[in-house]
Amino acid sequence: MTKKTYWDWGNARLHESFTVIAGTGTRHGSYKEYDRNGMLLISANYNHGALHGLCIEYFGTPEKYISKSTNYLNGKKSGVEKNYNLGSSGHYLLEECIYKEDEMIEKTSYYTDAKNRGQKKSHAKLVDDKQYNTNWFQNGQIEYKGILQVTPGNYGNITTPIQYTRYSETGILIEKLDDNIISFYAEDGKTITQKENLSTDVIECYDNGALTKSIKVLREAGNEYYEVSLYKDNEVYSKKIVDQNGNDVEQLRKEKLLELQYDSLYNKLQEILPTKVSMNIKEMEFVRPDVVYCRKGAYESSGKSSALETAVETHKKELDDVIRLRNEYTERGIKKMMENIINR
């Protein structure tokens, strides 16, 4: 049974024409759709309400240029799907995909410029949980070829590169991932300039094939540091740990410790001086707050740990002096008190 719908109340401009199973309204057989100007938009077939066979979509032109053609099997994409473009430079293929059970398993894209139109630009094929990719330059030379880990059932959802090679436009090898190690090559395509081990987080730098430097990523308490080692004749002659700004971490830790020591000593002096020592001790230079703060200020403005280290050592000595003088004062006081008791 054939049914038709129209764009207008007078049934002059056809919209759809399709066949249905009698008494059900379920589409079964040929289906065609037209725009308001009578241009064909869709030509398809249905099997008991589901798209089945070749479905062709058009740009709505008198020449019936195709915009997309898709093959269906009982309502699911199955087989080849082609996408086209129509512009001032002509009608041409953009990409070609292959589906299985409504899932894309392969895709080929093409260059669209007038000179290279129809030439492959990229190709990807899904096999189980692996995606095999190839990209080409406009001159036909391979740019990239690799295997990537994907989530099964989700084409293009790449999680981890497994293996790949990159080439220059002239065909020279410039980068390669193999066995979880990325290697970068010099202009000759043979000499390795750098290696990055994805398993150990270590980067190695080379000069004419000789190892010159290695950088290892260190993670500590949410922070990221780098252990930098310098080599000569394949032996380490220098090693240090730096932060993301290149600052020496050991030096930073030393400065932090010195700051804590300085503050601790200063607090002890402040506790002892006001009430527990003689007036003579109170008049010593180091107890003046402005002098104390100036010392720390000088360190902070210069940013040199040596200045603070000197201040810490000075305060240690001053604290020892305070304790010694206080003890001497206390001993004299006790001795004098005992003499007064005896002489009564």
What is the reported pLDDT for 330? 56
What is the reported pLDDT for 290? 40
Element containing residue 314 per DSSP (H, E): helix 305-343
What's the rounded Cα separation, in Å, for the pair 56 and 34?
Answer: 12
* Angle (deg, nearest 10), helices 305-343 and 289-302: 160
Closest Cα to residue 117, out of 89, 81, 88, 82? 89
In the chain, domain spans: 1-117, 250-343
What is the reported pLDDT for 155? 56
* Angle (deg, nearest 10), helices 249-276 and 289-302: 180
What's the rounded Cα separation, in Å, for the pair 74 and 47?
Answer: 7
Number of other residues whose CB lies within 10 A of the CB of residue 294: 12
Place of tokens 């001159």: 139
Q: Taking the mean position of all CA atoms in its chain, how far away is CA 60?
A: 44
pTM for the model stands at 0.70
What is the reported pLDDT for 304? 53
Would you give per-residue pLDDT tens digits along the chain (344 residues)? 899 999 999 999 999 999 999 988 899 999 999 999 999 999 999 999 999 999 999 999 988 999 999 999 999 999 999 999 998 889 999 999 999 999 999 999 999 998 999 999 999 998 888 899 999 999 999 999 999 988 765 555 666 889 999 999 999 999 999 999 999 999 999 999 999 999 999 999 999 989 999 999 998 888 899 999 999 998 999 999 998 888 888 877 777 776 676 667 666 666 655 544 443 444 444 444 444 444 555 555 444 556 556 666 766 676 676 666 656 655 555 555 555 545 54
What's the rounded Cα separation, in Å, for the pair 78 and 86?
Answer: 25
What is the reported pLDDT for 164? 96
CA dihedral 198, 202, 205, 208 (to 10 degrees): -70
What is the reported pLDDT for 310? 66
What is the reported pLDDT for 273? 54
| Backbone phi, psi, residue 59, to 5° | -80, -5
What is the reported pLDDT for 152? 61
Q: What is the DSSP string of 111-145?
A: --STTTTTSEEEEEEEETTEEEEEEE-TTS-EEEE
